[in-house]
């Protein structure tokens, strides 16, 4: 089986989207913890809303292990955090609304990274399969008449 060279543009794009997705999830976790504990908690001293960071820890292992299924479901789950960001950007006062806007930006980044990663990996797999078929046809030689 032929694997593309690590320096090919497609492979670099796959690596870039992978690390962009991992970085976005880590940034969302850190934002949720800082937001609800220190920066703009609903109650002084922090609130139970800090627990919203826990579900973001679940996909980290799958993203780090490069599991395609994780990228797919994270691109759907991220919209729950996006909705929370939109609601809080509209309803909270500063600095909470600014943190919510940052959450919105991170959610969009995570969604784009996950969807691009899935598309690029599927395109790579398709190209690799076609290359294998082509190489098998070339090694067999022309059909006999």
Residue 62 resides in a domain? yes
Residue 52 resides in a domain? yes
User: Which range of residues forms the domain containing residue 70?
Assistant: 9-127
| pTM of the predicted structure, to 2 decimals | 0.86
Alpha-carbon gap, residue 4 to 7, rounded angstroms:
8
- Cβ-defined contacts of 16-20 (< 8 Å, 24+): 17/113, 17/114, 17/116, 17/117, 17/120, 18/63, 18/66, 18/113, 18/117, 20/109, 20/113
pLDDT for res 8 = 64
Alpha-carbon gap, residue 80 to 55, rounded angstroms:
11
Residue 84 resides in a domain? yes
Residue 57 resides in a domain? yes
pLDDT in tens, the chain (145 residues): 444 445 566 789 999 999 999 999 999 999 999 999 999 998 888 889 999 999 999 999 999 999 999 999 999 999 999 999 999 999 999 999 999 999 999 999 999 999 999 999 999 989 888 888 888 888 876 666 6
pLDDT for res 10 = 73
Output DSSP code: residue 1.
Answer: -
pLDDT for res 1 = 42
Report the domain count for the chain: 1
Residue 44 resides in a domain? yes
Q: What is the DSSP string of 28-91?
A: HHHHHHHIIIIIS-SSTT--GGGGGGHHHHHHHHHHHTT-HHHHHHHHHHHHHHHHHHHHHHHH
Residue 13 resides in a domain? yes
Residue 138 resides in a domain? no
């Amino acid at each position: 089986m032929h694997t593309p060279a690590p320096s090919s543009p497609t492979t670099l794009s796959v690596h870039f989207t992978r690390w962009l997705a991992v970085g976005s999830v880590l940034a969302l976790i850190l934002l949720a913890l800082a937001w609800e504990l220190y920066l703009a908690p609903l109650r002084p001293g922090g609130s139970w809303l800090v627990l919203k960071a826990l579900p973001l820890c679940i996909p980290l292992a799958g993203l780090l292990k490069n599991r395609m299924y994780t990228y797919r479901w994270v691109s759907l789950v991220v919209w729950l955090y996006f909705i929370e960001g939109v609601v809080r950007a509209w309803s909270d006062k500063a600095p909470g609304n600014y943190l919510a806007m940052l959450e919105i930006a991170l959610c969009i980044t995570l969604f784009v990274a996950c969807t691009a990663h899935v598309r690029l990996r599927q395109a790579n797999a398709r190209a690799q399969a076609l290359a294998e078929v082509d190489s098998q046809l070339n090694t067999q030689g022309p059909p006999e008449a």
